[in-house]
Chains A and B, each alone.
Chain A
Amino acid sequence: MSILEYNGASIVAMKGKNCVAIASDKRLGIRFQTVSTDFQKIFPMGKKLYIGLPGLATDVMTFANELKFHTNLYQLQENRELTPKTFLSMVSNFLYKRRFGPYFVEPVIAGLDPTTDEPFIASTDLIGCPMVTDALSCPARAWSSCTVCVRLCTSLTRAQMSCSSASPSVS
């Protein structure tokens, strides 16, 4: 079991027609023991921007706080909301800063552009390699659920899903 699977998490994001959906489990475990069934892993970073953070729980909380701090600062300085693309660059930058002592999280970003409402999903690995998918989902990390997630997602997604069909699919 690697350090990324110590606490366990599954996060899935899907893009539809003018919508995005992001979902996570709520389990916090310590190896196989479940400690909490109410652990938050998706954090809002703007009115229409969410980041899902699977991985080591302590880094999930630390990284979410750090990101929230910097997005707030950005909004105060620029007087506008972050676009998802810029946010992806920000996340990637912060993760690569810790290249040789990384945060053990592999973020999944889902959001709509604040002005054009264009859907956007992306994910990065733990050292910040950005992966913007035109494909319809980007599942992420958990002990044994990763491959299951990928297969489920590829079978459940369709092009140009509407909002109402996206949320049951992603759950």
Chain B
Amino acid sequence: WYQRRVREAVVSTQSTGSSGINAEYGEYIQKNLKLYEMIHGYKLTPNAAANFSRKVLAKALRSNPYQVNLLLGGVEDCGTPSLYFMDYLASMTKEKFAAHGYGSFFILSTMDRYYKDDMTRDEALDLLKLCIKEVQSRFIVNLNSFSVKFIGKEGITVLENIPGSGTVHKDVPPRSNPPPNSSPVLKEPVSLTCL
């Protein structure tokens, strides 16, 4: 899991290979977008940046493919946000919400249910927390914490991490040592009835 700040966008990539690969890809995209800005004097829109990223992935696909899945989010100077979902095969769509990986099987449903077009930033953060709670509850891997970045008109703001473990089972008391004389063997016989 690797993030690269790309001007007004965050390219988040997830790799099935070594993380060196997506570091290289992320940096390549980042530096090329900066180069464009230097040459032409204005920044690329998120749409253009996404299509450029897609082109790089697609060109490399049949020779030396990048194993990166990415979500590219950006805000134009006028304030219009856009989110692009891109596969490692370079298939790209513009989405209102998107997810990659095993977690996507769970949280796409959550977002389908709770996403609204005109959400405020706090509502979006609440939805994000709900998604994380869903993943913690249903996904077999226990995940420590989640970093959050907010991309707005003013730029990229790093918000505080959302803790992963401990968000679900708040009511369960912390595990303590068992009492000294208890044995693991059951005191009473248990009958198993097969239905």
Contact = CB atoms under 8 A, between A and B. Distances in A.
A61 interface: yes
Contacts, number: 38
The majority secondary structure among interface residues of chain B is mixed
A60 B89 CA distance: 11
B66 interface: no
A141 to B, nearest CB: 15
Contact of B58 (A30, A38, A58, A101): A58
Interface in B76-95: 85, 87, 89-95
A28 B105 contact: no
Nearest to B61: A58
A7 B88 CA distance: 13
B54 to A, nearest CB: 7
Contacts of A28: 91, 93
Contacts of A62: 58, 90
A38 B93 contact: yes
B98 interface: yes
Interface of B: 54, 57-58, 61-62, 85, 87, 89-95, 98, 104-105, 108
A36 B57 CA distance: 19
B104 A33 contact: yes
A101 B108 CA distance: 34
B85 A58 contact: no
Interface in A36-50: 36, 38-39
Given A33-B105, A58-B90, 13 more contacts: A28-B93, A35-B95, A35-B98, A36-B85, A36-B93, A56-B91, A57-B91, A60-B91, A61-B54, A61-B92, A62-B58, A62-B90, A101-B62
